[in-house]
Amino acid sequence: MLIDNKKETINNLKKTRYNKFYKCNVLKDFFKIFRILYKLREDLKDQNKIFIISNTTIFSIYFLFLKLFFYNSKIIIFFHSHIYNKNLLQLTSGFICSLFSFFTSKTIYVSKYTRNWWSLFFPFLKLSKQYVLYNYVELPKKIKRKRHKKLSIGFIGRFEKEKGIHKFLNFAISTKNKKLDFHIFGRGSQKVNKLKKKNIKIYKWSKKEYIYNKINVLFVTSNIENCPLSVLEAKSYGVPTLTTANGGITEIIHNNNDGIVLNKKIKKRNLKNKFLYLLKNIKIFESNCYKNSKFFNIEKNKKNIFKLILNF
């Protein structure tokens, strides 16, 4: 069962075996949600109920109502990131969420960094049952790697300040080495104008197969990343990651093995040399990516995932 109105979420849900869900805006359609909760209570009278909530604002609003409607239910709060925008709403939601977390069945984080961040700023969370569960991805069945004469460097993500899109662009524009070209995939509020430079190409969101066939290294320029799916997807396609981000991303990259982790203050000249080093050793990095991506194979980890969620 899902209560959501996001097109992306619904499209992902259709790919699974779960086909019964309710579509609505959880932050606006309060009365509609109460009717849905009442219906669920009637439909699921004799069944064990587990609610997984991955948004702190939604959790802080509906937690008491879920306990009221389903007093014997299990409620799990899932933290997929830290708070990027520390405004009053987000901080208030985080504080309320931390208070209610004591009454949840479990709190799950996508990385050790995420767990430590929330525990530092909202200490009440330490009283809950805490677990770390990294993201997992479906490994591609067939991989056709092109041999690029150049090192094709990719940006995949939202065009937002916290994702460092302009940091990526500044490096791409300033780089005159003919062995490096750049491909940007995504969309967002930050304007990314079409550039006349031949070595920089901008795309909209595309299928994974198309993206990872276009690039042979992923460049993550965010200030902080928790456990980005793009890194795990890239790894599964044999694409190493070079990053200047802090956070949980360093827990899923083996430095100088299936990727390179650098200080965000690295000079452009040294950064360019790291990319040239990757180009020279790309086959070794690709091989390590294939090998290490198996640790994040969702098919092989389903038992562990269900055990963590269902085993109380």
Comparison of pLDDT for 252 and 193, the residue scoring more: 252
Q: What is the rounded CA–CA span in Å between residue 238 and residue 180?
A: 18
Between the alpha carbon of residue 200 and those of residues 173, 193, 280, the distances in Å are 8, 11, 21
Across the chain, where does the E strand assignment appear? 3-4, 22-23, 50-53, 74-79, 106-109, 130-132, 151-156, 180-185, 200-203, 217-220, 224-225, 241-243, 246-247, 259-261
pLDDT beyond 80 at 44: no
Q: Which domains occur in the chain, in start order?
A: 3-137+300-310 (no CATH), 151-296 (3.40.50.2000)
Assigned token pair, 98? 């931390």
Comparison of pLDDT for 40 and 207, the residue scoring more: 207
Q: What is the pLDDT of residue 196?
A: 67
Over residues 54-69, the mean pLDDT reads 88
The SS3 of residue 98 is helix
Query: pLDDT class for 14, splitting at 50, 70, 90?
Result: low
The SS3 of residue 3 is strand
162-212: per-residue pLDDT in tens?
Answer: 999 999 999 999 998 989 999 999 988 888 766 667 889 999 889 999 999
- The set of residues, in sequence order, having a beta carbon less than 8 Å from that of 128 and lying 6+ positions away, is 101, 102, 104, 106, 107
Comparison of pLDDT for 49 and 82, the residue scoring more: 82
Which of 191-195, 221-225, 230-234, 235-239 comes out lowest in average pLDDT?
191-195
Over residues 254-265, the mean pLDDT reads 95
pLDDT beyond 80 at 3: no
pLDDT beyond 80 at 19: no
Q: What is the rounded CA–CA span in Å between residue 104 and residue 116?
A: 18
